[in-house]
């Protein structure tokens, strides 16, 4: 049974399109089955989202091929049609930067989104990536536009704010998690995400939704004043897709 997450009075999304989620069932650490996937999708629809670009993990923990993802995505789309759920859904991926990613990049076997061929990628949360600048160069040289998922979560950047600026200057776009502004992860991460917002360094916002708990924190995030400031200080690209 799907239950409503919002009352009429509560605030909803200020963008129509979400670019980061884990809604395809049984493919990563997101929705565990079809019923849970549908529940999360309906919750996002209720928040005001009209289009979802879902992004399954591709990493050493989740060895999803492009074919695996596209096949599972087709199954989810068919279920949405069957249930007459009116929401647009597309698929890309969230790539963990490792040797497998390098090989996929060489073969151009990557699932991107948007006309600019945006590639959503993430780093280790605790260990700096070697030769990150070289990798960013290779992504761009291959015709993709790199989008760094949740930059606020990489703790080794927290005391080196200039690293954020350096990466931005290389042409990397930043996607923050909305749950970060609601203190879902930690005080430090909330502090950093506010810094990125106030310095105009945010290009995309994402739900990064995996489960019900994220829905609760998304609702909390959308009720905060800092949520509106994202749009005041930054040019957010979600609705351009």
User: How far lies 219's CA from each of 35, 44, 136, 182, 224, in Å?
Assistant: 21, 10, 34, 9, 9
pLDDT given at position 4: 45
Q: What is the pLDDT of residues 121-179, one digit of tens each?
A: 999 999 999 999 999 999 999 999 999 999 999 999 999 899 999 999 999 999 999 99
Buried b (16+ CB within 10 A) or exposed e, 104-116: bbeeeebbbbbee
Whether residue 58 contacts residue 22, with contact meaning beta carbons closer than 8 Å, is answered with no
pLDDT given at position 12: 87
- Does pTM top 0.85 for this prediction? yes
- Residues of the chain where predicted confidence (pLDDT) is lower than 50: 1-9
List, in order of start, the domains of the chain with CATH numbers: 17-233 (3.20.20.140)
- Residue whose pair of structure tokens reads 């590639």 in the numeric block: 119
Q: Distance between CA 177 and CA 20 in Å, rounded?
A: 9
């Amino acid at each position: 049974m799907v239950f409503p997450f919002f009352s009429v009075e509560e605030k909803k999304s200020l963008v129509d399109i979400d670019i980061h989620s884990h809604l395809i069932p049984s493919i990563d650490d997101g929705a565990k089955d079809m019923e849970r996937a549908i529940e999360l999708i309906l919750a996002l629809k209720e928040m005001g989202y009209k289009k979802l670009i879902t992004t399954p993990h591709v990493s050493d923990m989740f060895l999803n091929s492009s074919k695996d993802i596209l096949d599972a995505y087709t199954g989810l789309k068919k279920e949405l049609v069957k249930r007459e759920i009116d929401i647009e859904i597309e698929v890309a991926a969230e790539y963990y930067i490792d040797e497998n990613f390098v090989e996929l990049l060489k073969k151009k076997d990557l699932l991107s989104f948007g006309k600019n061929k945006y590639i959503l990628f993430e780093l280790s949360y605790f260990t700096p990536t070697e030769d990150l600048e070289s990798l960013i160069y290779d992504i761009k040289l291959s015709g993709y536009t790199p989008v760094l998922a949740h930059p606020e979560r990489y703790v080794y950047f927290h005391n080196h704010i200039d690293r954020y600026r350096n990466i931005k200057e290389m042409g990397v776009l930043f996607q923050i998690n909305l749950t970060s502004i609601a203190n879902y992860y930690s005080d430090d991460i909330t502090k950093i995400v506010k810094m990125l917002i106030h310095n105009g360094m945010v290009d995309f916002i994402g739900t990064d939704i995996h489960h019900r708990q994220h829905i609760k924190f998304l609702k909390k995030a959308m009720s905060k004043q800092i949520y509106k400031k994202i749009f005041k200080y930054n040019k957010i690209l979600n609705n351009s897709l």
